[in-house]
């Protein structure tokens, strides 16, 4: 059985904590481990922070909103997949291939390290980025839940 939620928030840094806790609370339905939950929270934080600091950096970009959509896909046995889509309607990214490289940042003077997308890719099971200049950006991520427990059980059985 699958489940979903949609959340629209103002692109303000004060909403970042709310967004990551909301997604984490939704993910509880899949019975994640503490470390899986923490990976999800970290990835959502990075994506939402990017919307706030990059997408809507200029006042020109009208409605400062972020859409967060989550969908669960339960496996028949235990665990499953959490699919997360984070959409903004901001400035978009000139070159997505460059943007995902470790240490690439357009805000180096601002003490950004350019590691946000790398963190999302590392902490999640699947990641994709689509962007259109002047239109906005869509980050899609999937976390497979329950793999760690299976690994532990396999090791215990061995």
Ligand X SMILES: Nc1ncnc2c1ncn2[C@@H]1O[C@H](COP(=O)(O)OP(=O)(O)OP(=O)(O)O)[C@@H](O)[C@H]1O
137 binding partner (options Mg ion, ligand X, none; Cβ < 5 to 8 Å by kind): ligand X
Cβ-contact 142, 125 below 8 angstroms: yes
Does the active-site annotation cover 60? no
Both tokens assigned to 5? 């939620």
50 interacts with ligand X by CB under 6 A: yes
CA distance 27 to 110: 33
User: Does the annotation count 112 as an active-site position?
Assistant: yes
Pick one of 9, 90, 143, 146: the residue that binds ligand X (CB under 6 A): 90
CB 42 within 8 A of CB 24: no
Q: Point out which residues bind Mg ion (CB under 5 A).
A: 50, 116
| Site stretch for ligand X (CB under 6 A), options 30-38, 74-82, 101-109, 145-153 | 101-109
- Taking alpha carbons only, the member of 80, 62, 66, 79 closest to residue 139 is 66
Least spacing, CB of residue 53 vs Mg ion, in Å = 7
Question: In this chain, which stretch among 9-17, 23-31, 97-105, 146-154 interacts with ligand X, using CB under 6 A?
Answer: 97-105
Regarding 84 and contact with ligand X (CB under 6 A), the answer is no
- If binding is defined by CB under 6 A, does position 65 make contact with ligand X? no
Half-sphere exposure of 110 (CA within 13 A, CB side): 10
| Residues 94/133, Cβ–Cβ less than 8 Å | yes
């Amino acid at each position: 059985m699958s489940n979903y939620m949609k959340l629209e928030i103002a692109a303000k840094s004060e909403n970042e904590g709310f967004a990551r806790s909301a997604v984490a609370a939704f993910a509880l339905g899949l019975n994640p481990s503490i470390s899986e939950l923490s990976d999800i929270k970290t990835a959502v934080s990075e994506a939402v922070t990017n919307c706030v600091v990059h997408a809507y950096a200029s006042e020109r970009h009208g409605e400062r909103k972020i859409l967060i959509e989550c969908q669960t896909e339960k496996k028949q046995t235990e665990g499953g997949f959490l699919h997360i889509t984070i959409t903004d309607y901001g400035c978009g990214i000139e070159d997505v291939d460059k943007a995902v490289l470790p240490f690439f940042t357009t805000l180096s003077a601002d003490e950004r390290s350019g590691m946000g997308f790398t963190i999302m890719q590392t902490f999640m099971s699947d990641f994709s980025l689509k962007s259109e200049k002047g239109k906005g950006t869509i980050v899609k991520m999937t976390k497979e839940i329950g793999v760690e427990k299976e690994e532990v059980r396999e090791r215990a059985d061995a």
